[in-house]
Structure formats: C-alpha cells, structure tokens
Amino acid sequence: MSRYRGPRFKKIRRLGALPGLTSKRPKSGSDLKNQLRSGKRSQYRIRLEEKQKLRFHYGLTERQLLRYVHIAGKAKGSTGQVLLQLLEMRLDNILFRLGMASTIPAARQLVNHRHILVNGHIVDIPSYRCKPQDIISTKDNQRSKALIQNNMTLSPPEEVPKHLTLDSIQSKGLVNQIIDSKWIGLKINELLVVEYYSRQT
C-alpha cells in the first residue's frame, strides 16, 4: 500500500489531530458528530483507527509500519513503547520535532533533496534512524540555510522535546537521548496497534 497523498483534513476529521501530517486541527465538536453518526464502534475498528492514526501521523506505508512492529517485537521491553521510540528516532520526525519543518512530509522532502547533514555527512534517507549524540544540521549553502530558517520562523515548535536540543541561530539540533514516550504528544494507545497486527497473523 502506497503512502497517503490524499486530502489531509479528511483524515484529521476522522482520526483527530495528527500534527505530523498537517498543522490544521479539526473544529471542536466535529469528532463528537462523527462518533454520534458512526454509532457503536467494534473492537476491530478501534484498533484499526489507532493503527491508522500512527501510520498517517508518521507518514508511513503499511509495509513500513509492519516492519517497525516486527523490529519492536524482537526488542527488549514493551513492544508498544519500543515501536514509538523507533518511529520518533527517524530523521524526518526529528526535523519535525526540532521545528526545522512544519510537518513530517515537509521534513521528508528536505531530506530527499539533500539539504540535511547528520554528523557532517549528507543523509538523503528520511527513515534514517538517529542515535544519541547525533548532530543534525543543514548543508552549508545559502539555499539550504534559507529554507530551514524560513521554516523555523513560520512554524516554530511549541516546545522542543527534552531528548533534543535546538540551536536556532546555527540551525542545528542535537539528539541527547532516546525519547521518553510521555514526550511523544500524540494521543494514541500503542498497545492497540500491536494488538491489531498480532491478530492479523
């Protein structure tokens, strides 16, 4: 299944706020109207919606999300927590969290167009997994720096998570540590996502 490129507002009306997909928010009361119209939701639908929320927020294909679930399942600790940590440490998501891009699709475009350096080397893979002590910066040319500065001026992050440090003057970010799940800021029950996939196999 390919990456979603359709109307974004349609998704946030159905699933709630998805800051990674779009900065727009549904009007208050629209969620309630949808719930009243849809009536009682089955357990399958609840799990499916949680999975869709995760997928659209991070801008993943179905295959990518399934791969992350498999990796998380083999790691030590809670599968749901590890899954969120894996997704949060993606380069495109780190750029979004630092405020260098207004959404995750915008961050992905910056990476694909080779504007971003990790530890001084160009990385053009949005799914690149960042590690503690990685330094995220922009390419040393006027166009790249102007793009990032423009993004940071237009959409400054509400709050930079504690696992990251931002130097807005030099347009640099530092990954301090693996993210704590309470900093993710997405209303999601990751256990339902794991449950959804465990019932598919």
- Nearest CA to 195 among 53, 82, 81, 51? 51
Q: Please give the CATH architecture assigned to the domain spanning 8-86+185-200.
A: Orthogonal Bundle (1.10)
pLDDT tens, N- to C-terminus, the chain (201 residues): 455 555 555 555 556 666 656 555 555 544 434 443 455 778 888 899 889 888 888 889 999 999 999 999 999 888 998 999 999 999 999 999 898 988 888 899 999 999 999 999 999 999 999 999 999 999 988 888 888 888 888 766 667 888 899 998 888 999 999 887 666 767 788 889 989 888 875
The domain covering 90-177 belongs, at the CATH homologous superfamily level, to RNA-binding S4 domain (3.10.290.10)
Residues in the chain: 201
The full set of domain ranges for the chain reads 8-86+185-200, 90-177
CB 93 within 8 A of CB 87: yes
Amino acid at 132: P
